[in-house]
Amino acid sequence: MKRFKLGKIAVCIASAVAMTFAVSAASACNIETAHPEAEITYSFNGKTYAVKYTLYRNMYPHTVRHFIELANNGFYDNTVVHSYTTNDWFTGGYSYDADDYSAKMSSGSQMSEYFDGQSKEDAYVQLFNEGKLSRSVYANLNYSGEDQTVNKDSALYTVMGEFYNNIHQTIEKGKLTAEYGCLKMYYYEKETTKKVIVTPTEDQPTLADYKYNSATSVYAVQVGTSSSYNENNYTVFARLSSTDTFDSFVTAIRNYISDNHGGTTSEFYTETSVRVDNNENFSDKLEADKGTTVTFNAPKTPVVIESVKITKY
């Protein structure tokens, strides 16, 4: 009898261990690490460069989650870096069509038309409406007595980024400073005084200025040791895992400029003005004038984001 009980206990223990291992293994597949990793493949002038990054979810969970969701849905694949004449290269706003890009660039005056036609704004809104992007900025609250929760039907297309200007929040583990090769989620300040509800957690909705919560898809790659942008307007959410490939990539671009244009930039770009935020859904502006005009330099030989892959979660 005792032997049977011991045997039965042994079987139960073995089963429990097996189940625990299985659950642990399954959980490991879905675990969110403090430092996910990404590989961005750039192409320029016929060559590709696969650059590896470390993401800082432990410090900027909303920004990193948003970037990962966009990457997993292929949003950044085949997008063009629409300016690389400064220390901050912006990407995520426009698709790349080689034939159309070349044809409009050769005309010398149609690049605004190109970028308007290749805008990724509609694709971003579609992902949002399909529930593939997490919500974190809302227009209204729900009330139940003294309890307040976000009104999920009032979610806005923007996302809460961990900017200093957002809710003047303190990043507990310190603040990442911008450095060579880092990735920065950037926002265009909205011309509005409206307030929104941001959610560090849904149980703690916080009132904040909407104009400081307008991050969507555009991020910048810093290629210098300094930036011309106010550090309160962006979040450094990723850094290079190693510099070797990125160094080769940047050197190739600089050599191209030097070899083909005498080291100057004005000979190989067209100044381009386009409207952004055309799907803005929470602004003081009139419906017909709710976008924002931005101007940048469109290069004749573009840098293209071939793919963005999350290699570690």
**Tokens coding 38:** 């990404």
Kindly provide the residue ranges of all beta strands, DSSP E only, lying in the chain, ordered along the sequence: 37-44, 47-55, 79-81, 88-91, 137-138, 141-144, 147-150, 183-186, 195-198, 206-209, 219-222, 234-240, 269-276, 292-299, 303-312
Asked if the model's pLDDT at residue 130 lies above 80, the reply is: yes
Asked if the model's pLDDT at residue 7 lies above 50, the reply is: no
- pLDDT at 13 (0 to 100): 30
pLDDT tens track for 58-111: 888 889 999 999 999 999 999 999 888 888 999 989 999 999 999 999 987 899
Place of tokens 């694709």: 123
- pLDDT at 14 (0 to 100): 37
Residues of the domain holding 130: 32-312
Contact indicator for 268, 106 with CB cutoff of 8 Å: no
- CATH number, domain of 71, equals 2.40.100.10
Q: How many structural domains are present in the chain?
A: 1
Contact indicator for 211, 192 with CB cutoff of 8 Å: yes
Is 7 part of any domain?
A: no
Q: Per residue, what are the HEC states of 147-210? A: EEEECHHHECCCECCCCHHHHCCCCCCCCCCCCCCCEEEECCCCCCCCEEEECCCCCCCEEEEH
Asked if the model's pLDDT at residue 205 lies above 70, the reply is: yes
Is 184 part of any domain?
A: yes
Is 188 part of any domain?
A: yes
Is 226 part of any domain?
A: yes
Sort 16 into a burial class: Cβ within 10 Å, 0-12 / 13-18 / 19+. Answer: exposed
Distances (CA, A) of 51 to 46, 48, 57, 245: 16, 10, 19, 6
Is 23 part of any domain?
A: no
Sign of CA dihedral 161, 167, 173, 175: positive
Report the C-alpha gap between 180 and 242 in whole angstroms.
Answer: 11
Mean pLDDT over 248-269 rounds to 89
Is 18 part of any domain?
A: no
The closest of 185, 235, 231, 193 to 210, measured between CA atoms, is 193
* C-alpha gyration radius of the chain: 23
Is 189 part of any domain?
A: yes
Report the C-alpha gap between 165 and 34 in whole angstroms.
Answer: 24
Sort 78 into a burial class: Cβ within 10 Å, 0-12 / 13-18 / 19+. Answer: middle
Asked if the model's pLDDT at residue 25 lies above 60, the reply is: no
Report the C-alpha gap between 310 and 40 in whole angstroms.
Answer: 9
pTM listed for this prediction: 0.86
The number of residues making up the chain comes to 313
Is 268 part of any domain?
A: yes
Query: To the nearest whole percent, how much of the chain has pLDDT over 90?
Result: 47
- pLDDT at 193 (0 to 100): 83
> What's the pLDDT band for 243 if we cut at 50, 70, 90?
very high
- pLDDT at 23 (0 to 100): 36
Mean pLDDT over 27-53 rounds to 88
Give phi and psi for 267, each to the nearest 5. -85, -15
- pLDDT at 69 (0 to 100): 97
